[in-house]
């Protein structure tokens, strides 16, 4: 299978299902067997997934991508052995990050709900015009892209998390803020915007928000 078929959702779903690390192997960059150069798509998805992991409190080193040819069996063994060693050092998912399993899964599921949105963002604002490893590295590791990603992702993640909480029961602004570690003013802003869009409604009797 072409590494370009490894969707962002595949990566996040693997972690959500409890995998402690994810390793992606692809053909050498510039040596794609297809005209699509899907290995560059895999590289872009890996960079995006790493940013998502870091944003939700998980070590991005739990995800790794390596490129090699079909004849590089020795390299594959070397890469996977080294990665396995690193994951053993990090321990179970969330442990070295100070997060319990429920919090890890909650954060990952909230992030997964944003994958369709992130695909659009990647296509429109995070597309690298030159297909070279150096160009992708310089682009995705730049401070400008870090700021752009944080601006794009932070509010969307918070809203996704809020919606997941409201799926279980109605909550007040202060309840949501406490559960998610957010400022009450930020939660109020998200709720007002979501209410205008018809996603939530405010129950005056209980002073709580619920899904519309």
d(CA 111, CA 53): 9
What's the confidence (pLDDT) of residue 42?
A: 93
Q: What whole-number distance in Å separates Cα of residue 73 and Cα of residue 172? A: 56
User: In sequence order, what are the beta bridge partners of 63?
Assistant: 22
Domain boundaries of the chain, sorted by first residue: 3-167, 169-212
CA 164, CA 5: separation in Å to the nearest integer? 28
How sure is the predictor about 66, in pLDDT bands with cuts at 50, 70 and 90?
very high
Q: What is the pTM of this model?
A: 0.92
Model pLDDT for residues 6-39, shown as the tens digit of each residue: 999 999 999 999 999 999 999 999 887 777 788 9
Residue 71: its pLDDT value, please?
82
Architecture per CATH, domain 169-212, reads as: Orthogonal Bundle (1.10)
CA–CA distance, 140 with 179 (Å, rounded to integer): 32
Mean pLDDT value across residues 71-100 = 95
Share of the chain above pLDDT 90, in %: 84
């Amino acid at each position: 299978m072409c590494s370009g078929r490894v969707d962002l959702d595949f990566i996040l779903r693997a972690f959500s299902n409890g995998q402690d690390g994810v390793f992606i192997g692809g053909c050498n960059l510039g040596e794609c067997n297809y005209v699509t150069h899907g290995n560059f798509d895999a590289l872009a998805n890996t960079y995006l997934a790493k940013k998502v992991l870091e944003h939700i409190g998980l070590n991005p080193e739990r995800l790794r991508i390596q490129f090699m040819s079909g004849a590089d069996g020795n390299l594959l063994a070397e890469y996977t052995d080294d990665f396995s060693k690193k994951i053993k050092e990090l321990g179970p998912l969330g442990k070295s990050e100070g997060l319990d399993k429920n919090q890890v899964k909650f954060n990952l599921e909230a992030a997964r709900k944003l994958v369709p949105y992130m695909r659009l963002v990647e296509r429109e604002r995070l597309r690298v015009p030159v297909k070279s490893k150096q160009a992708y590295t310089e682009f995705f590791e730049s401070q400008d892209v870090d700021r752009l990603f944080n601006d794009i992702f932070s509010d969307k993640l918070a809203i996704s998390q809020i919606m997941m909480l409201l799926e279980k029961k109605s909550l007040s602004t202060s309840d949501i803020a406490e559960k998610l570690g957010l400022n009450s003013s930020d939660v109020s802003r998200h709720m007002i915007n979501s209410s205008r869009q018809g996603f939530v409604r405010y129950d005056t009797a209980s002073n709580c928000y619920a899904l519309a």
